[in-house]
Amino acid sequence: MSFIHETAVVDEGCLIGNNVKIWHFSHVMKGACIGDNCNIGQNVVVSPNVRIGNNVKIQNNVSVYTGVICEDDVFLGPSMVFTNVINPRSFVDRKSEFRSTMVRKGASIGANATVVCGVEIGAYAMIGAGTVVTKDVKPFALMVGNPGKQIGWVSEYGHRLSFDASGRAVCPETQSVYELKNDFVTKIG
């Protein structure tokens, strides 16, 4: 059973999964699909045809525009921003030019970050607060700054990884092992 606050608006034609919470003054628009166990914070807009996976947390004041797909376990921090047109003008209708943005499983996007449309954020990547993402982000990458630059790697649990001479690192929380090879990280155990 899901919870929809009395001030929230959920348009007809949406698919809302089980155990979803939609909080104050949020709006889920026609054609949006939200998976199970999601938390949609206060003052959030989920635009038409957006796809949200399971266990996604969308914090307050986020607009998820048409063209955005968030896979399972994604975290969208407070007031982060997606775009969907690369060169918007109020007097030019460019809805046919929306660019898709993919946020892969387990990725986290920090507060006040901006994601320019047309990029893919890799699985378990971590985008620091205030970062401006203008290009694709590798899985497990740690990105900060404007424009966003990769400054390291993180584990599935969000811990900074330190690789040894053989290209191996261990998550301090889970003891999972990661390998860095050809500038890509994979979890190997």
pLDDT at 189 over 90: no
pTM of the model: 0.97
Query: Six-digit token pair at 179?
Result: 């390998």
- 124's CB contacts (< 8 A; 6+ apart) are 104, 105, 106, 107, 139, 140, 154, 155, 156
Contact 133/141 with Cβ under 8 angstroms? no
Strands 126-127 and 141-144: parallel
Average pLDDT value for residue range 141-152: 98
SS3 readout for 4-68: ECCCCEECCCCEECCCCEECCCCEECCCCEECCCCEECCCCEECCCCEECCCCEECCCCEECCCE
Split at pLDDT 50, 70, 90, the class of 134 is very high
Residues in the chain: 189
- Give the pLDDT of residue 130: 98
Split at pLDDT 50, 70, 90, the class of 147 is very high
Average pLDDT value for residue range 77-82: 98
The 10s digit of each residue's pLDDT in 30-77 is 999 999 999 999 999 999 999 999 999 999 999 999 999 999 999 999
Q: Where are the domains of the chain?
A: 3-88+96-154, 162-189
Q: Which CATH superfamily is domain 3-88+96-154 in?
A: Hexapeptide repeat proteins (2.160.10.10)
